[in-house]
Structure 1
Amino acid sequence: MNQIINMVTRMVMRRLVNMGINKGIDVAAKRGQGGKELTSEQRQAAGKNAKRAKQAVRMSRRIGRF
């Protein structure tokens, strides 16, 4: 029974951590340049950078498993 509880706890915590990391990347990307409004080009670039950051996080997790 203890193993099942530990497994479920790990699954929930992993999901919460992943959501927190992704949310932080999104907030940092949308933040812009110190309160100035972003142009559409800057917003697109921020979205691409956020996507790359999320990919880098996923890759580092995979590498960390070994």
Structure 2
Amino acid sequence: MNFNQIINMVIRMFLRRGINKGVGMASKRGGKRKAQGPMTAQERKQAQTARDAVKRARKAARITRRM
């Protein structure tokens, strides 16, 4: 392994962590939720949609890194 490959590997590791943290923070923030009480049916559906979007974003990032 040459030095350039090592540098690229380290950069990819940090980018992956940063992207995952950013996506996680964005999905947790959601729609400026009120109290942490029980969720309504609409809130549950919105949370599920957000989780699905996060899954798709992570999958797209993985596919993009492979290219």
The TM-score bracket by the shorter chain reads: 0.5 to 0.7
TM-score (norm 1): 0.65
Listed as ranges, the gaps of 5+ residues in structure 1 are: none
Does 2:55 correspond to 1:51? yes
TM-score (norm 2): 0.65
Report the equivalent of 2:23. 25
Cα deviation, residue 12, structure 1: 2.0
Give the structure with the larger helix fraction: 1
Q: Using CA pairs under 8 Å that are at least 6 residues apart, name the structure with larger relative contact order, 1 or 2.
A: 2
Runs of 4+ aligned structure 1 residues displaced above 4 Å come to: 3-6
The number of residue pairs the alignment matches comes to: 60
Task: Provide the alpha-carbon RMSD of the alignment.
Answer: 2.2
Report the equivalent of 1:36. 33
